Amino acid sequence: MTHDDIAAQAAADFRSQFGRAADGVWSAPGRVNLIGEHTDYNEGFVLPFAIDRRTWAAVGLRDDNTARVTSTFSDDEVEIGLSTVGPEQLEGWSAYPLGIAWALGQNGVELAEQHGFDAHIASDVPVGAGLSSSAAIECAVAIALDERWQLGIDRPTLARVGQLAENEAVGAPTGIMDQSASLLGRRDSAVFLDCRSLRSEIVDLGFAAAGLAIVIIDTKVSHSHATGGYAARRASCEAGAAALGVESLRDVGVADLDRAREIMDDETFRRVRHVVTENARVLATVRTLRESGPLAIGEILDASHVSMRDDFEISVAELDLAVVAAREAGAIGARMTGGGFGGAAIALTPLALIDEVTARVGEAFAQAGYTAPEIFTVTPSDGAKREL
């Protein structure tokens, strides 16, 4: 189905489920992070882009205090009373859309009578691939409610609302990157975001003009940021910052690493070194894209993967194999993307070599006895918008 067809179908499904027309259909994309991993919650730099995989929310206001949500990925209809709902009552997929309503309430929106709504969600962002299917739901619902409730909230603030929903309603202690990419993304471009000031700039990627594409290798190794490793990495970063006497690792530069090595244990030091060097790599990527174009960023992507593999230790064998096989088949740079512990790798690949990369990675996985990966390309696309 084309994206226009999915939007129209979402409106039709809303009508058949709720017995009336939706007020409109809004959509928001998933994202790929080009570089800048685990830097967002350290108030550092990230460079994600919105992708051509989206989530659609058909939304209609009600004249009572009830919110009902349905979706194409579950048979459940979930219904809540808006003024009484707390994050602890939300669970499963409905925590994403309903968590946004709750988080808007935390942001000062009066969720009294007449703020009820019905919403139907459809999506073609793969779930569990590390492409932020969750942020896509949150951002589609956030811009829909912002418009229909006539809130006029700016997009950086809406990103914060999405992050609050993710942190409290879903329970994943994630940063601000995914929602920012989904809300601020622009066709053919990446979002260069300073996660301290929340100032952002659009950076031209020029992949197509340079004859390049981003190949996604979804390893099918599932991950969850609501448990385990993600929170542990975050805690190590906080411990490293505390040992150095700074508010966050944003305040630590490459020149401070010698001192850092002396005052903390080796593991914490390596976590710190990843974040500090990754911030420098984001800045180097932006500079290189502007001065020389995307053909020149391959080595920086490779170095980022090595740092995540060896220092931050968030890669898995499948991701490492995907990166090596893609590079051997001619990708100019490759790295795992997103939070890690599974999910996807990206390979910046000459258009003429996409088939070769796809074949070689598939063969390498088969030889290693791993589950077959899903391999496809994505295009840097526009952020959240109204569709119908």
- Catalytic positions are 178
Closest CB 152 distance from ligand GLA, rounded Å: 26
Q: Contacting ligand GLA (CB under 6 A), which of 26, 41, 49, 102?
A: 41
Question: Rule CB under 6 A: is residue 38 a binding residue for ligand GLA?
Answer: yes
Residue pair 51/188 in contact by the 8 Å Cβ criterion: no
Span interacting with ligand GLA, options 30-38, 185-193, 247-255, 298-306, rule CB under 6 A: 30-38
Q: Contacting ligand GLA (CB under 6 A), which of 99, 339, 342, 383?
A: 339
Q: Contacting ligand GLA (CB under 6 A), which of 40, 302, 311, 318?
A: 40
Question: Rule CB under 6 A: is residue 218 a binding residue for ligand GLA?
Answer: no
Question: Rule CB under 6 A: is residue 37 a binding residue for ligand GLA?
Answer: yes
Q: Contacting ligand GLA (CB under 6 A), which of 24, 29, 105, 175?
A: 175
Question: Which of these, 190, 202, 185, lies nearest to 382 by C-alpha position?
Answer: 185
Binding pattern for the stretch 257-296 against ligand GLA, x by CB under 6 A and - elsewhere: ----------------------------------------
Question: Rule CB under 6 A: is residue 178 a binding residue for ligand GLA?
Answer: yes
Closest CB 377 distance from ligand GLA, rounded Å: 20
Q: CA 192, CA 284: separation in Å to the nearest integer?
A: 12
Question: Rule CB under 6 A: is residue 47 a binding residue for ligand GLA?
Answer: no
Span interacting with ligand GLA, options 1-9, 33-41, 82-90, 138-146, rule CB under 6 A: 33-41
Q: Contacting ligand GLA (CB under 6 A), which of 42, 71, 133, 174?
A: 174
- Nearest residue (CB) to ligand GLA, 338 versus 373: 338
Question: Rule CB under 6 A: is residue 30 a binding residue for ligand GLA?
Answer: no
**155 is written with which tokens?**
């997009």
Span interacting with ligand GLA, options 18-26, 62-70, 171-179, 369-377, rule CB under 6 A: 171-179
* Binding-site size, ligand GLA (CB under 6 A): 12
Question: Rule CB under 6 A: is residue 177 a binding residue for ligand GLA?
Answer: yes
Question: Which of these, 164, 194, 201, 196, lies nearest to 179 by C-alpha position?
Answer: 164
Closest CB 38 distance from ligand GLA, rounded Å: 5
Question: Rule CB under 6 A: is residue 338 a binding residue for ligand GLA?
Answer: yes
Closest CB 92 distance from ligand GLA, rounded Å: 18
- Measured from the Cβ of residue 290, the count of other Cβ atoms closer than 10 Å reads 10
Closest CB 201 distance from ligand GLA, rounded Å: 19
Closest CB 37 distance from ligand GLA, rounded Å: 4
List interacting residues with ligand GLA (CB under 6 A). Answer: 33, 37-38, 40-41, 174-175, 177-178, 225, 338-339
